[in-house]
Chain A
Amino acid sequence: MGDNQLNASRRDALKTMFRGAGVLGLGGMAWGGVVDGLKASELALRPPGALAEKSFIKACVRCGSCVEACPYDALILATVDDHTAIGTPFFVPRETPCYMCTDVPCVPICPSGALDSELLKPSDPTEVSKEMDINTARMGVAVIDEEACLAFWGIQCDACYRACPLMGKAITLDFRRNDRTGKHALLEPHINRTACTGCGLCEHACVTEKPAVFVLPKELASGKVGNHYIKGWDKRDEKRLHELKEEQKKGSQSAEDYLNDLEDLIDE
């Protein structure tokens, strides 16, 4: 084989490799884009004891053991059209809520650790003998649309309050004067977010056409105050203020210097 031929075949080989790498990159980007889109949805309500959504879709092996263990068939394994990571379990409370089995059969069967019984440790110290306490589950949080809630209209309805497995703790009824009639009371349901497990029994029980109370994933239904607000009346939170002051002292600069320091403001 002459030098030219050798060079030509080497050039061909390089070209092929280059093309191959290009096709691989193209495929990888398409594949990655699809997967990134599929995992992005955060609307699914996960079984009790599930890790945070991001870790959960990482950890779940999509075996469906929890789905099979659920005695109420509340859990569904996501298919292509469910708009959540395919093959992962979720439930739709309006159809079948989580009935909060005290033995939580869906959790110990999980072979991957995506459902973790550690996250269901009893909060009550008198109950440490129990391995899991379903009341510590945080599958989501119930939210009330007061516009659509009959109780806020002044019609007596306590369907959600009665359905709540933590009646009086997760949902309370607050009495308020009905200004419209002037002589009746409004029995308004309120969600206590620190107690709500997100089981969705309220959503399932709600009598309106489209439920006025519904469960959302906690991440989706939560705001965030930010670190610069401190509860002055809370000793523990107040401590943060003192820690903050000490930190500032370290980088001591007089107020005047601080105000006249233009270093960060002028872009050079």
Chain B
Amino acid sequence: MWARNKYIVLRRIVQLSFLALFAAANLWGWKVLIGNYSTALVMETVYLSDPYMVLQTLAAGFILSADALIGALIILVFYALLAGRSFCSWVCPLNMVTDLAFWMRKKLSWRKKENIMLLGRNARYWILVLGLLLSAILGVAAFEMISPIGMMHRGVIFGFGMGWAVILMVFLFDLFVLENGWCGHLCPLGAFYSGISRFALIKVKHKAENCSNCNKCFPACHEPQVLGIIGKQSGYITSGACSSCGRCIEVCEDNALKFSINNYKKHRREL
């Protein structure tokens, strides 16, 4: 039971801990994490910033203070070199909402392929660029003005207002319109982390000799296009779109998948 649910439990603990620490800073003045996912002060020493937010602000024409710029650089380096796109499934609070929609779709057996030619998985990269363009044109961080992620974490930490309606919209979109629609097709922040995560160290490793081609990992995966090598060859799931959620590892009964450190020097051939 534990092995089948290990990562989902760990992920929820990590996600909720971040939210709880931020909320505690506002409610009781805890000093562990002050601020929110946009910019946070950690233990009153180091600032961390959302790099896509910083890029939008720069595009809008404002040079942020060194604190925020360095904070964004730390986050950028951390995910790009080490953790990959794990922000999306281990930190982002909206992930709990979209996971629920994904789970409900599965329970309702709505796993049908939609005609999504114009809203494919590459749409998010265009939206990422569009966000920067609009920021430059309008002189304000364009995605931050409408981001349901921001509404979610600010909602939990500072109060929702009508923001819950936008969260509900994302949920309904994912449930009724397009499977994994927000995270997998629209979200420019996810696209940003996908874009920088190709060469991160932590990746899922596949051992093809153990694989019995049961195909259980495909329906479990939120980005199944990254699982191209499954059952065919051993190696790493290198695509930046993989959010290291570990669902494939949990459902695999053949011990053919696990988290591992990708040694790029050794595996240069496989790139």
A-B contact count, CB below 8 Å?
Answer: 138
Complex partner residue of A111 from B65, B140, B142, B159, CB under 8 angstroms: B65
Give Cα A80 to B169, complex, Å.
13
Give the most central of B39, B54, B130: most A CB within 10 Å: B39
Interface segment among B30-38, B91-99, B223-231: the answer is B30-38
Interface segment among A56-64, A196-204, A245-253: the answer is A56-64
Give Cα A82 to B57, complex, Å.
22
Give the most central of A34, A55, A63: most B CB within 10 Å: A63
By size class, the interface of chain A is 35 or more
- B57 to A79, Cβ gap below 8 A? no
Interface of A: prevailing SS: helix
- Chain A residues with CB under 8 A of B150: 62, 86-87
By size class, the interface of chain B is 35 or more
- B35 to A63, Cβ gap below 8 A? yes
Give Cα A16 to B62, complex, Å.
36
Interface segment among B2-10, B74-82, B160-168: the answer is B160-168
- A59 to B163, Cβ gap below 8 A? no
- Chain A residues with CB under 8 A of B144: 61-62, 86-87
A49-88 CB mask vs B (1 if < 8 Å, else 0) is 0000011011101111101100000001101111001110
Complex partner residue of B146 from A24, A35, A55, A113, CB under 8 angstroms: A35
The 23 sampled A-B contact pairs (Cβ below 8 Å) are A20-B126, A24-B126, A28-B134, A31-B142, A31-B146, A34-B146, A35-B134, A35-B140, A35-B145, A38-B145, A58-B140, A61-B39, A61-B49, A61-B57, A62-B150, A67-B158, A79-B160, A79-B163, A80-B161, A80-B166, A86-B144, A86-B145, A111-B68
User: Which residues of chain B have a CB within 8 Å of any CB of chain A?
Assistant: 25-26, 29, 34-36, 38-41, 47, 49, 53-54, 57, 60-65, 67-68, 71, 117-118, 126-127, 130, 133-134, 137-142, 144-146, 150-151, 154-155, 157-163, 165-166
